[in-house]
Amino acid sequence: MGTLHKVRAFVRVKPTAQFAQDVIKFGPDNKSIDIYIKKDAKKGVVNNKQTDWSFKLDGVLHNTSQELMYETVAKKLVSEALIGYNGTIMCYGQTGAGKTYTMTGATAEYRHRGIIPRAVQQVFKAIARAVDSFITVRISYLEIYNETLCDLLSTMTGSGASDVQMAIVDCPQGVYVKGLSIHPVSDEEDALNLLFEGETNRVIAEHTLNKNSSRSHCIFTIYIESRFRVLSDVRCINSKINLIDLAGSERLSKTGSEGRVLKEAAYINKSLSFLEQIIIALADPKREHIPFRQSKLTHVLKDSLGGKCNTVLVANICGEALHVEETLSSLRFATRMKWITTEPVINVTYDSEGTVKALEKEISLLKQELAMHDSLVNRSLVTYDPLTDVQLAEIKSQIHKYLQGTIDEIEIMNFRQVQEVFRQFKLIVRQQEDEVETRLRSKYVLIDKNDFATIAAAQKVMAGAWALPKTLFRMIFFLIQEGDLPVSQAQITCI
């Protein structure tokens, strides 16, 4: 926690027989990729335009198996999600470059499965190993098509939930999609069934609504909640892994579309260029406002891009010379992603209800423990519940007998009884103090030592009392002087 991370960006090259080896060159470090465009290779490339580019990423995946791809791109992010860090993996690139292959994989062969099924497997393997925590997993599958949110798993709720109006809601815990169904899954198979259900729904919609699935963004989310006890606190760790298959990034000009298709392309390009703007804004530490709300995609990703989560981008590119422009733009996008720094934090909460339950359990366990100790030392049945009124009265009477000397000792029963005995003694001592004071007050005027005003007043009264014999003395002395009284000097001193 508290350490700055960079967004990690990888490039994955789709295998091709026509790999443009003069155009795309990989560095020996497996991290850099250079692009050379021959000036005459393409019309319109004027002489003063840049023709060589060099990109440095976190890894170049070329001729890489799905397994190695997963190890490189996703494994760490998924294991960190299991300890509470949100994670997002996105595939970006032109249609046909291998985004879906990377994210979902090919269904025909097990070893061709992509990030989603492998992430699901990793999560459930970790759950199987977890001994001191209780982990629940839930899944949702959202599609964003022409700025409309679509629940790919609404058919699973069986309540016609597909009509539910969905909306993106910001709340202090993060962003969520209101109306999106989230499905608890108990094992890997459950989760994979949901993935296939979502894929099927996507294909059906593609035919019935004449959609083009390469124009939609798909977000498969794995929500992980683990609860475990730390002493008597029940800690809840919540995290989610967003696995995103973005719409094809090919540019509008190239598609040469019209009408509806043009409109769709405009939407995609808009949301992807908003995504790019967000990324540029996130990379700028001076930027305060990040306009997440300007598209559904960026709004949904508000708490999943940069900020407090782990983010990984895979730029899928084609290796053919024909696609070099798109390849360049995907590499630029990937490089920009790398500018973003993030500071992942664990999403932890404490469950007070759970804590109370845990404490109750702890107490009953301790009572059992005590009962066992009692039976081991042959103590008769001792209860450890709070003292009843009858027991309290009994203790009180015992103490009185003890003080009167009728009994010699008070037998120790249990801790509660000892505490009660002390409490009773304290009460008695207090009562006696009060009684003593009352008795003294009835006989004497008691002045508080610190009450200086009263003390001064009292001293004055005393001085007055002393003044009386003095006056008397003077009078007597006067009378003697006058010779009226026949008293000797010795007698005067006595007065």
Annotated binding site: 93-100
* Whole-angstrom distance, CA of residue 305 vs CA of residue 295: 14
Q: Which of 182, 187, 61 is nearest to 114 (CA)?
A: 61
State which of residues 72, 88, 100, 154 lies at the interface with ligand ADP (CB under 6 A): 100
Cβ proximity to Mg ion, 85 vs 101, nearer residue: 101
Q: Which does residue 97 touch among ligand ADP, Mg ion, none (CB within 5 to 8 A, set by kind)?
A: ligand ADP
State which of residues 60, 80, 99, 338 lies at the interface with ligand ADP (CB under 6 A): 99
Q: Which residue is nearest to ligand ADP (CB)?
A: 98
Would you tell me how many other CB atoms lie within 10 Å of the CB of residue 81? Answer: 27
Q: Which does residue 15 touch among Mg ion, ligand ADP, none (CB within 5 to 8 A, set by kind)?
A: ligand ADP
Would you tell me how many other CB atoms lie within 10 Å of the CB of residue 261? Answer: 13
Q: Which of 3, 16, 8 is nearest to 324 (CA)?
A: 16
As measured in angstroms, the least distance from the Cβ of 261 to ligand ADP is 16
State which of residues 316, 329, 335, 347 lies at the interface with ligand ADP (CB under 6 A): 316
State which of residues 100, 304, 330, 342 lies at the interface with Mg ion (CB under 5 A): 100
Does 87 contact ligand ADP by CB under 6 A? Answer: no
State which of residues 72, 86, 88, 95 lies at the interface with ligand ADP (CB under 6 A): 95
As measured in angstroms, the least distance from the Cβ of 191 to ligand ADP is 21
Does 97 contact ligand ADP by CB under 6 A? Answer: yes
Residues at the binding site for ATP are: 93-100
CB 341 within 8 A of CB 4: yes
Does 216 contact ligand ADP by CB under 6 A? Answer: no
Residues composing the chain: 495
* Whole-angstrom distance, CA of residue 76 vs CA of residue 87: 10
Does 101 contact ligand ADP by CB under 6 A? Answer: yes
As measured in angstroms, the least distance from the Cβ of 214 to Mg ion is 5
Q: Which does residue 306 touch among ligand ADP, Mg ion, none (CB within 5 to 8 A, set by kind)?
A: none
State which of residues 68, 83, 106, 458 lies at the interface with ligand ADP (CB under 6 A): 106
Instruction: Report the helix count and the strand count for the chain, using DSSP H and E.
Output: 14, 17
Opening angle at CA 222, ends 216 and 223, nearest 5: 130
Helix, strand, coil % in the chain, rounded to nearest 5: 45, 20, 30
Exposure string (b/e) for 193-228, b if CB count within 10 Å is 16 or more? ebbebbbebbeebeeeeebbbbbbbbbbbbbbbbbe
Two tokens, residue 262: 């043009």
As measured in angstroms, the least distance from the Cβ of 38 to Mg ion is 30
Does 214 contact ligand ADP by CB under 6 A? Answer: yes
Cβ proximity to Mg ion, 106 vs 366, nearer residue: 106
Contacts with ligand ADP, 235-254, as mask; x by CB under 6 A: -------------x------
Does 59 contact ligand ADP by CB under 6 A? Answer: no
* Whole-angstrom distance, CA of residue 6 vs CA of residue 337: 9
Binders of ligand ADP among 9-48, rule CB under 6 A? 14-15
Token pair 């190890």 is found at 71
* Whole-angstrom distance, CA of residue 413 vs CA of residue 395: 11
Cβ proximity to Mg ion, 216 vs 311, nearer residue: 216
Token pair 């995907």 is found at 330
Binding positions for Mg ion, rule: CB under 5 A: 99-100
Per CB under 6 A, residues contacting ligand ADP are: 14-15, 93, 95-101, 106, 214, 248, 316
